[in-house]
Structure 1
């Protein structure tokens, strides 16, 4: 399941806008917004170092947090954040209100296991089509990752979402087709595909 929940202290913002945001950042704070659950959005500020540490710890977008604001505790899921392109500095964070019954859509990373028990051991290449899969799941039970078992796979095999065992209550957002997550290709084909991708880029 997702990483352990954590708590953030926040202060309500009375002023919004670029000037106010710049002032906050100079004082070691980041502007943020809490929205959703059919309630009015709340503009807040949170500690820069604390939120940056959480972002870089991993699992930020799939972990429910608790924001303490004016003595109240609000359960939230990070939905977006902006970084300064030059300084890798956190500029803004959006939080979605959630409850025990909330259903959310999140991008969950894909982990591959047992490469040594597949054709990859003899030189084949794992061609990853999706490093993440968007899933519908309970906010209280977000998977930290989904695992794809490569054991026994040969050159030419493809792994589709239907082959992945998802936790109870978790379904893919893309429901109209059995999409591909990865394929096992011969070494030459893998190199050719990479070269084609580089050329297109």
Structure 2
């Protein structure tokens, strides 16, 4: 289960574009909490903390306990907007998480045992087809990742969605498609077999001194 982080917020008294611009000028980020059968609640967040959380990665799959006016709500970010020029956060949408509910998230795929993979040892390369899987998961038990074990894969072997062990209570949104997750691609250049090279050299016709005979020259063109 992913770590649940805490996030402080204050109630936003005014809404609308003008109020949002005013909030940003004060070093705050406008946000909203919605869903779970309760009315939407306008809040504002600390700019530095929010910016750091977004760029730390996995923001949209991280659960937060947001404290507003003494009340704590369990939420997960559903969307955020960035300034198109400066890439700074402008707004965040949070979804309330109620016990027993489920939600759709992109869960990252983590590769393990790459260093012991037989195909990699033979010169093959790991080709990751899907870095994440869209899944429906319990709201109170969102997995950090799905593990793909490369320990037994040879060249041209692959792992598909149907062969992955998904966390308890989690289901892929499109299980019927059985996506390829990762494959072991063959090396671009196959190394020469020393034994085959030696056999070919031994079979070549010999010239004087035991050296391989030079290739026959092409016949000279007749003068007209």
- Normalising by the smaller structure, the TM-score range is 0.7 to 0.9
- Please tell me whether the aligned partners of residues 13 and 43 of structure 1 are also in contact (alpha carbons under 8 angstroms): yes
Distance 1:8 1:152 in 2: 42
In structure 2, the partner of 1:196 is none
Distance 1:86 1:11 in 2: 27
C-alpha offsets along residues 21-57 of structure 1, whole Å, 9 cap, x if unaligned? 1211111100111111122221211111122222233
TM-score (norm 1): 0.86
Distance 1:83 1:46 in 2: 15
- Please tell me whether the aligned partners of residues 2 and 59 of structure 1 are also in contact (alpha carbons under 8 angstroms): no
In structure 1, the partner of 2:63 is 64
Between 1 and 2, higher relative CO (CA 8 Å, sep ≥ 6) is seen in 1
Tell me the CA shift for residue 60 of structure 1: 2.2
Distance 1:110 1:137 in 2: 15
In structure 2, the partner of 1:158 is 158
SS in structure 1 at match of 2:175: coil
- Please tell me whether the aligned partners of residues 115 and 121 of structure 1 are also in contact (alpha carbons under 8 angstroms): no
Distance 1:33 1:62 in 2: 17
Greater C-alpha radius of gyration: 2
Alignment RMSD (CA, Å): 1.7
C-alpha offsets along residues 112-152 of structure 1, whole Å, 9 cap, x if unaligned? 11112221222212111111111111122111111100112
Instruction: Return 5+ residue gaps in structure 2 as ranges.
Output: 190-224
In structure 1, the partner of 2:74 is 75
Tell me the CA shift for residue 75 of structure 1: 1.0
Aligned length: 188
Determine whether 1:145 maps to 2:150: no
Tell me the CA shift for residue 94 of structure 1: 0.7
In structure 2, the partner of 1:171 is 171
Determine whether 1:9 maps to 2:21: no
Tell me the CA shift for residue 111 of structure 1: 0.9
In structure 2, the partner of 1:197 is none
- Please tell me whether the aligned partners of residues 2 and 63 of structure 1 are also in contact (alpha carbons under 8 angstroms): yes
SS in structure 1 at match of 2:178: coil
TM-score (norm 2): 0.78
Distance 1:86 1:123 in 2: 43
- Please tell me whether the aligned partners of residues 105 and 137 of structure 1 are also in contact (alpha carbons under 8 angstroms): yes
Tell me the CA shift for residue 88 of structure 1: 2.6
Alignment map for 1:5-154 (pairs within 5 Å): 5-118=4-117, 119-154=119-154
Instruction: Return 5+ residue gaps in structure 1 as ranges.
Output: 190-201
Structure ranking higher in strand proportion = 1
